[in-house]
A = this chain, B = another copy of it.
Amino acid sequence: MLKKALVGISIILSGFMLAACGSVDNLSNDTNSSGSKAKTQLTGQTNSDYYQGVIKNGRYRTSKSRGVSVSQESNQFNIKGFENGLLNISKKEFSTKKYVFQEGQYLSTSQVENWLARKSKSNPTGLNPVKSKSTSPTRRNPIYLSQIDEQDFMVQNGKSLKLSAMTIGLAINSVDYYKKTQYGPTYQTSISSAEAEQHGKQIANQVLQRLRKKKALKNIPIVIALYRSASDDSLVGGNFFAYSLNDDSATKISKWTKVNQKNYVFPLQSNKKGPSTNDEDSFDNFKSTIQGFFPNLSGVTAQAQYTDGSLSGMNVDITTQFYSQTEIISFTQYIQNAAQKYLPANAPIDITVQSTEGIQSFLSRKANEKKFSAHIFNSY
């Protein structure tokens, strides 16, 4: 029965760039009792920047709480930034060469929804404070916790994958938006960094305790990371500010590691101060060079991430009117040279050129590369 299942697996697994996973074509079903159709596969790996993912019965094993973030978080940058940042923290502790990534299987949609809600008689597991009588922005209890993300890390154990580590991300609001009456105006309660940290750490301890009650999670390392969500009008997501690695059976967080990361939008608003006037000048020079290229101006903005005070990544977004493919080709080549000349060295940089017709071209330079590579999208 088992052998039958394995034939199917090896077909898809053959040709995979399996980093250090050993003979993964021996992977088999570990839960399904009928056996013959329960096949576990891996997605394959583009490079060691990414974890392989788990496929079950030919389908991606999606999260048990799939879609909760998308439905609850209104700033899209907070969703992508939260997930990407959490993966980067996971990678620090759980190597992409050893571990296989699995979307969270231990927290269900209803569980996550209940945890994200306020504590109440009907919702005793709510991790946000009870609703206060006051509706004053400064006196009410705000909603602190806005997103929960679970990432499971598996290693091969004989013929199956075994859960071996977990990362939990908790996103804490910097602003809580609320209404006093159903269709009334929206009010805001600001949450300071200090409050976010204090409440975030309390919530993290509660989460750790709850996770340890689940049998499969009693004896694995669990990382819990805290994210400060950006406000709804931000053009860049929030940032992680602390995480803890909790060994094996620890039920209380004993040590937090500080994360010093912050995102900016270039050009900076005139009232904001950035971490590096050098980088700002570089971007401004790039921007003005690019913007002069066509008679009608192009919009040029960037998301920039700083880690420990240094630029650790930049996404440049250029929007332009589409006139012709030859203009896009010339523009892209020009951008490539201007980027090489003006944009800060070392940090990975992506540049996309968009028009109302969608993406036109794209340039990229990885952290360890010197030159930008370019791709121009064509059409037949």
Which residues on A are within 8 Å of B, measured CB to CB? Answer: 12, 15-16, 43-46, 50-53, 55, 58-60, 62-63, 66-67, 69-70, 76-77, 79-81, 83-84, 87, 101, 103, 151, 236-237, 263, 292-295, 303-305, 313, 315, 322-327, 329-334, 336-337, 340-341, 350, 352, 354, 357-359, 362, 364, 374-380
Residues of B within 8 A of A62 (CB): 294-295, 323, 327
| CA distance in complex: A378, B348 (Å) | 12
Chain B residue nearest to A262 (CB atoms) is B380
Given A83-B325, A101-B330, 17 new contacts (CB under 8 A): A43-B331, A46-B374, A50-B333, A50-B376, A53-B334, A59-B292, A59-B295, A60-B327, A66-B323, A79-B325, A80-B378, A84-B325, A101-B326, A305-B380, A315-B380, A352-B359, A359-B359
Q: Chain B's nearest CB lies how many Å from the CB of A171?
A: 13
CB-based contact A332/B380 at 8 Å = no
Query: CB < 8 Å: which of B55, B324, B350 contacts A377?
Result: B350
| CA distance in complex: A12, B341 (Å) | 9
A-B contact pairs, 12 of them (CB 8 A): A15-B341, A43-B331, A43-B333, A44-B334, A59-B295, A60-B293, A62-B295, A66-B323, A79-B325, A80-B378, A303-B380, A350-B377
CB-based contact B46/A380 at 8 Å = no
Residues of B within 8 A of A337 (CB): 12, 15-16, 43-44
Residues of B within 8 A of A46 (CB): 332-333, 336, 374
Q: Chain B's nearest CB lies how many Å from the CB of A279?
A: 14
CB-based contact B294/A77 at 8 Å = no
Query: CB < 8 Å: which of B69, B77, B362 contacts A379?
Result: B77
Given contacts A329-B50, A333-B50, contact A380 B81 (CB under 8 A): yes
| CA distance in complex: A329, B44 (Å) | 11
CB-based contact A87/B292 at 8 Å = no
CB-based contact A325/B87 at 8 Å = yes
CB-based contact B362/A83 at 8 Å = no
Stoichiometry, copies per complex: 2
Chain B residue nearest to A44 (CB atoms) is B337
Query: CB < 8 Å: which of B43, B70, B84, B375 contacts A334?
Result: B43
CB-based contact B327/A103 at 8 Å = yes
CB-based contact B16/A59 at 8 Å = no
Residues of B within 8 A of A151 (CB): 326
CB-based contact B375/A362 at 8 Å = yes
Residues of B within 8 A of A364 (CB): 375
Query: CB < 8 Å: which of B45, B63, B358 contacts A333?
Result: B45
Residues of B within 8 A of A76 (CB): 357, 379
| CA distance in complex: A362, B293 (Å) | 27
Q: Chain B's nearest CB lies how many Å from the CB of A15?
A: 6
Max count, chain B CB within 10 A of own CB: residue among A59, A103, A337, A358: A337
Query: CB < 8 Å: which of B60, B87, B263, B357 contacts A331?
Result: B60
Chain B residue nearest to A77 (CB atoms) is B379
Residues of B within 8 A of A66 (CB): 323-324
Residues of B within 8 A of A322 (CB): 70
